[in-house]
A = this chain, B = another copy of it.
Amino acid sequence: MNNIQTLKGFRDILPQEKRARDFVAKSIAKSFSLRGFEPIETPTLEYAELLLGKYGQEADKLVYNFADRAGRQVGLRYDQTVPTARLLGQYYQQELPKFFRRYQIQNVFRADKPQRGRYREFTQCDCDIFGTVSPVADAEIVAAFYAAFADLGINSLVIEINDRQTLMSILKPFASDFVDVFSIIQSIDKLDKVSRGAVKNELVSKGLSSGDAEDCLCEIDNAVMSDQLSKIADICYDLGVPRSALKFNPKLARGLDYYTGLIFEGIIPEYSVGSVGGGGRYDQLIETLSGVAIPAVGFGIGFDRTVEATLQLGLIPEDVLQGSQVLVAVFSEELLAESLQLSNQFRQKNIKTEVYPEVDKLGKQFKLADQKKIRFVAVIGEDEARDNLITIKDLKTGDQKTLAFEEAVTLVKNSRK
């Protein structure tokens, strides 16, 4: 296996990136938990029958499916909505309560063409409320979306909102036997990415007259917030979402067919890679998928993009990104016990610490700290051992001090700020 690498479209996650991802995932999970959302997990493998035919013909080709050793057709998790629909069918109103709120952060698998930053295994982060059509649930969902970013320190998030019903009532008169309304929605959805002219041309190419295409775009420009959407926005404000964070965008369409009411999308202005997530209300989908009629509202967060944005904005503390903060060097075989005890003491003070595992030249030990980007090296030599002190060197500033243990702890802890 000397030259076996990772599969195309798959990746290893090395420590620094993994720490950033864990930090973001933990923060998001906490934001959701505080709002009453409960974590679940579904298996990586499901019956292929569950997965196929649920996402459209094109998507079916992207499902990883195969026959297991017993001949069952099985498939890898493709998204989190379909397995959750299965789970709701199995447990809703029994093990799971009415108005079930769940979040789910797991990997999904798509045999897609790999591109820069797009992998065949990636993390999805979904959050939904099931079992009510109340606008309070819509607003709780928008507020949870806002909080997930705000709690990471991203206070600039703009959430564009729209009502799929308003959009449908505007667009339906332009639909015909030749152009269905979802095809028009898919063109409208591009208005934020390509020029108005390009969208108009696309509508014409789909069969709208030039005049109808123009009228359609004008009507969208002039659309106003529906009563339902205003009500949802007001509840959001009461739930603590700042007014500046919500922005009505009549052009927001969201590509997927299944939305039935509120739709929304989040953008971080300082981070120019487009949407970091979005969602909306989908009152028929769970019934279509599971046979059990359960209205739903929820969203997905683009986990990779959110991690990248959080890193770019410098919102992950240095000491979270780094591994050990202190390397305890070993001065000599005779003083090994002192070094071991010191590392244990640092750990008890909640300081990430490792001990150099061999007796080696001090120069080599400092070099390891450098390679591992460990900021502090602590040494107990003969003098230090006699005086019950520690010599500690800050590799960032070059400062070296000989001091008592408690002072060393203070030094290291203060460096985190």
Contact = CB atoms under 8 A, between A and B. Distances in A.
Interface in A7-28: 7, 10-15, 18-19, 22, 26
A2 B353 contact: no
Nearest to A61: B69
B97 A368 contact: yes
Interface stretch (A41-49, A201-209, A309-317, A409-417): A41-49
A167 interface: no
Interface in A325-376: 330, 336-337, 340-341, 343-344, 347-348, 350-358, 368, 371-372
A182 interface: no
Decide if the interface of chain A is mainly helix, strand, loop or mixed.
Answer: mixed
A172 interface: no
Contacts of A2: 89, 290-291
A59 interface: no
A35 B291 contact: no
Interface in A31-47: 33-36, 38-47
A281 to B, nearest CB: 13
B44 A18 contact: no
Given A97-B371, A235-B340, A109 B68 contact: no
A136 B358 contact: yes
Interface stretch (A98-106, A243-251, A267-275): A98-106
Interface residues of A, number: 99
Contact of A324 (B36, B107, B354): B36
Interface in A120-162: 120-121, 129, 132, 134, 136-137, 139-140, 143, 147
A238 interface: yes
A50 B11 CA distance: 15
Contact of A36 (B98, B109, B323, B341): B323
A267 to B, nearest CB: 23
A12 B102 CA distance: 13
A388 interface: no
Interface in A263-304: 289-291
B13 A40 contact: yes
A43 B290 contact: no
Contacts of A98: 368, 371
A239 interface: yes
A15 B32 CA distance: 13
A1 interface: yes
A41 B18 contact: yes
Nearest to A373: B97
B15 A38 contact: yes
Interface in A151-210: none
A350 B13 contact: no
A1 B289 contact: yes
A234 to B, nearest CB: 8
Nearest to A4: B50
B372 A97 contact: yes
Given A15-B38, A340-B239, A4 B352 contact: no
Interface of A: 1-2, 4-7, 10-15, 18-19, 22, 26, 29, 33-36, 38-47, 49-50, 61, 64, 66-69, 72, 74, 76, 85-87, 89-91, 95-99, 101-102, 107, 109, 111, 120-121, 129, 132, 134, 136-137, 139-140, 143, 147, 235, 238-240, 289-291, 323-324, 330, 336-337, 340-341, 343-344, 347-348, 350-358, 368, 371-372
10 contacts: A1-B49, A4-B86, A6-B46, A10-B45, A12-B90, A14-B95, A34-B352, A45-B109, A45-B121, A69-B111
